[in-house]
Amino acid sequence: MKKSFWSLIGILLIAPLVAIFGYRCYKDIVFTQNCGGYLKRAADANSVDLAKGELRKSLAYIEANNLTSGYTSILYNTPDEDVGFWYTNLSTSLKDLETMSPTASDLEKSNMLLKLRQSLLDHGDSGEHVTIPHGVSVFPHNAALAIGGILSLFTALIGTVMLLVVFNE
């Protein structure tokens, strides 16, 4: 009875870390399905109409989830974590696509699509990736999740030690 009680306590101390990790993974998947994936498709689009459609889907998700202003950072703000700039840049890109004349030349359309691609993608060591503020998938709960993650990491360590002690008796 005593061994199973302490085992249960150890597992319960580990559970919050697993829950926070699972929640962050879930939110990242939902964001990729409803926004990030469409931004990548807009960047890859071969026609202005196709790019507009994909960008509209992303902006609909962004606006529905109030990802229009603020910073994803917790301790200090850096430009790459500015959600407001990111949203404004995407909105402006869509307006540019929508104001393009249907009778525009192929060169003008190609230049617009190239400009959009450069706005939406970054080039890093591992190749191209969509420009998205780090942590935007859990925004505006970044601070709560960071604090919860740190606290749950400590409780998980205690729970792990408890389980090791219980099973080594």
Query: What are the domain boundaries of the chain?
Result: 2-167
In 3-state terms, what secondary structure has residue 102?
A: coil
Rounded CA separation 102/125 (Å): 38
> What's the whole-number average pLDDT of the chain?
94
What lies within 8 Å, CB to CB, of 71 at 6+ separation is: 77, 78, 81, 82, 83, 133
Please calculate the CA angle 103-105-111 and round it to the nearest 5 degrees.
125
Q: Which two tokens stand for residue 84?
A: 């407001």
Res 138: pLDDT: 96
Res 2: pLDDT: 79
- The amino acid at 86: W
Q: Kindly tell me if the per-residue pLDDT of 1 is higher than 60.
A: no
Q: Is the peptide bond before 140 cis (omega within 30 degrees of 0)?
A: yes
**pLDDT grade for 167, boundaries at 50, 70 and 90:** confident
Q: Average pLDDT, stretch 58-81? A: 94
State the pTM of this model.
Answer: 0.89
Q: Which residues of 54-81 are buried (b: 16+ CB within 10 A; e: fewer)?
A: bbebbbebbeebebeebbbbeeeeeeeb
In 3-state terms, what secondary structure has residue 68?
A: coil
What lies within 8 Å, CB to CB, of 158 at 6+ separation is: 13
Task: Please check whether residue 121 is in contact with residue 130, taking contact to mean a CB–CB distance below 8 angstroms.
Answer: yes
